[in-house]
Structure 1
């Protein structure tokens, strides 16, 4: 890696989130970090570079097409880390993962596409392990808060000698922001591919990314994971909570990333670790129950509509397009907070808080993706000696927490009173 020309290449820098990530790196990467911008069209890259903060004025430009294995391979060979925002990854991601795995180049993306991650595990995990490449999926709002929240809890429980984690639930406690056109496009692709029975099996399998399947307790029984689509009684998450929690629309992706982290870490979270996600909609029992049921119905209906081909043109007309995004002021005014609760095998209760200012899908995501790329590029001695198809927690763990907190993200763990 010491002979690589660049530390980080931002691939897809002409897209909305790609440009935000490049701007974040221009403002926050340590002086001397070698960064380049990459994309298909050089003239568009030149335009983007001219609009970035002054630190990016001399960044080199790299022309590479997502459909060209040769160009992607040449790009991957020049850098320590490829940071890509080019999605939907089911359409455009596989050749780049192949190039990075073969060249021993670390890789970060923003995917929330479970079938894509499953494909890369099947095709490239062994290649990446052999070359030493860390292929790290889901490094934005999907799924850093989920994955790092669970990992931080594990570290706190372990440090306290409090046993192992059991039932664990991440709750989106507050959220202000929009859903990017790129995320909508990924959801659209997944919904339409779900007409294939093999894809449906992957989407319906809570351990689709864990390889070994559902873990067994010491008694030999398979542990049943929480539903991604059903309302949740908040008091069953933790006795300090009241009301009903709604399904969180990205749970079907985030939960599988967290379970993969646990699998890659050798089941370190606990033999009875189960993980779910939900969204806060109020504490009043009747009102929150109605709201949670409505969210569940809308979520199911949304994916159903996108999967119906005759309705596709109508749905597409009202949804954000790839490249669309909110204004700078709207991005600045966004924020999110998640709280992840667990009860350990010794009966102790803990909560991890993950908070970031900035629109979750844009400004906060650019921060999380940018810091993930910098962690892989610059903090190599602090990283676990692990390669292959990884997750934020299993690839970077404590090193990523350190970078994120230094960047202004709040990540705290607390023991709850008896």
Structure 2
């Protein structure tokens, strides 16, 4: 991995991690998690637009003791950085002050471009919570080559979208490969259990992307492409795929009647996992994945990704196909429910794109910065199972489960784990820079940090 001579060494930066957007609902959860779990001596700065709110948060955190006895830098010592996402100068100063920037300021299409670019230019590792296809696509086009030249890891989507999906497939592939069972073929993620809310920030991001799609047909084509985040927007299958499918249960569990419903996060998660597969295949030297998408979807020369270490995967193979669904029971009733879920998702998207109904929905859907009570979040949890038939005919499955609300406390743990791995596990990271994914950019170091955070991650051979 190369670094531009004009870029300062991030190990010499004053802050290990800067949390930007710390005073938002999820931002406070992230800050609380880091205060309790960051290693002793970690230098963490809280950043945002309002110094008074930042100071109030720091005071609140200062009274919360570490839960595992490892932290030696109390929150009372954390610096406060006032910065505005609309200021290129502020974003540059923020990026140049840290080893890792963790940003929670969305929608990212509106507020995230300057910071992602500043981190790519400064050689600073970066993590966010975006679930916006168009923002991620634009970031790849603008920042991938720049980040490769400076050694920065720009890792989007480090929350519920899309760490469980990306890591679930990675650990399944790695276990199958280590057993000598070959590359992955048809792979299906099934959400078997999920309890928890969708954040106001997620809703606002969806709203922003739908506005962009409605206003620009070219942008709509990018959003619809199954490979919109792949190098050159190219993949092994058709570019137009149904990423909100109704799937017969028998296709995953032999002999079972009924259907799986579409999973509402699949249109984004699937693209992240496909990008991981493409980047790892490129590292393994497979043809057809050079370049990364420009604004118009054209490839950028020289965007091959090279290098790997023991924390890296070696590519899922050209036969890899991926989809995500959600369990809604068994038998005939499940098929009825699956159709209702698909119709409901279509109605929600249509309603958010139609101005009169959009205004009505805005009054019902959670607003940015809002979130459920701690007691409500305490009941949150999720379990996902990933099933794949390898090209050698062996069935493997992995499971990712967490006893936390996926959109709030769970997401706070996940993005914190990603930031801590980038800051402190550098000798275990894949030897790769650019605009990456959790699995391709952080790899096994992230898996271990997630397990430390309470996530159960397993893989087993079925036959």
- Per the TM superposition, whether the score is higher than 0.5 is yes
Identify if the C-alpha distance between structure 1 residues 214 and 238 changes in structure 2 by more than 3 Å, giving closer, same or farther.
Answer: farther
Counterpart check, 1:276 vs 2:323: yes
Q: Is the Cα–Cα contact under 8 Å of residues 79 and 105 in structure 1 kept in the other structure?
A: yes
Provide the residue aligned with 1:179 in structure 2: 198
Q: Could you tell which deviates more after superposition, 387-396 or 51-60? A: 51-60
Provide the residue aligned with 1:308 in structure 2: 354
Counterpart check, 1:82 vs 2:101: yes
**What is the distance in 2 between the residues matched to 1:312 and 1:407?**
38
Aligned counterpart for 1:230 among listed residues 218, 226, 245: 245
Q: Is the Cα–Cα contact under 8 Å of residues 131 and 268 in structure 2 kept in the other structure?
A: yes
Counterpart check, 1:348 vs 2:403: no
Q: Is the Cα–Cα contact under 8 Å of residues 226 and 274 in structure 1 kept in the other structure?
A: no
- How far 1:224 moved relative to its partner? 7.1
- How far 1:308 moved relative to its partner? 1.0
Q: How does 1:93-132 map to 2 (within 5 A)?
A: 93-132=112-151
**What is the distance in 2 between the residues matched to 1:92 and 1:252?**
22
Pairwise CA RMSD: 1.3
Provide the residue aligned with 1:219 in structure 2: none
- How far 1:163 moved relative to its partner? 1.2
Q: Could you tell which deviates more after superposition, 203-212 or 304-313? A: 304-313
- How far 1:399 moved relative to its partner? 0.8
In structure 1, runs of 5+ residues without a counterpart are 217-221
- How far 1:313 moved relative to its partner? 1.6
Identify if the C-alpha distance between structure 1 residues 272 and 238 changes in structure 2 by more than 3 Å, giving closer, same or farther.
Answer: farther
In structure 2, runs of 5+ residues without a counterpart are 1-9, 66-73, 283-314
Aligned counterpart for 1:202 among listed residues 222, 242, 249: 222
Counterpart check, 1:391 vs 2:391: no
Provide the residue aligned with 1:212 in structure 2: 232
With structure 1 as the length reference, what TM-score do the two structures score? 0.96
- How far 1:203 moved relative to its partner? 1.3
Identify if the C-alpha distance between structure 1 residues 168 and 304 changes in structure 2 by more than 3 Å, giving closer, same or farther.
Answer: same
- How far 1:226 moved relative to its partner? 5.4
Aligned counterpart for 2:34 among listed residues 25, 29, 48: 25
Q: For 1:255-279, what per-residue CA distance to the aligned partner results, in whole angstroms no more than 9, with x for missing partners?
A: 0000000111126101110000000
**What is the distance in 2 between the residues matched to 1:340 and 1:36?**
37
**What is the distance in 2 between the residues matched to 1:265 and 1:229?**
25
- How far 1:105 moved relative to its partner? 0.4
Q: Is the Cα–Cα contact under 8 Å of residues 191 and 304 in structure 1 kept in the other structure?
A: no
Counterpart check, 1:366 vs 2:412: yes
- Residue-pair matches, total: 411
Counterpart check, 1:38 vs 2:47: yes
Provide the residue aligned with 1:321 in structure 2: 367
- How far 1:241 moved relative to its partner? 4.8
**What is the distance in 1 between the residues matched to 2:255 and 2:405?**
29
Q: Is the Cα–Cα contact under 8 Å of residues 238 and 341 in structure 1 kept in the other structure?
A: no
Identify if the C-alpha distance between structure 1 residues 310 and 7 changes in structure 2 by more than 3 Å, giving closer, same or farther.
Answer: same
Aligned counterpart for 1:261 among listed residues 276, 280, 305: 276
SS in 2 for 1:2: helix
SS in 2 for 1:246: strand
- How far 1:67 moved relative to its partner? 0.4
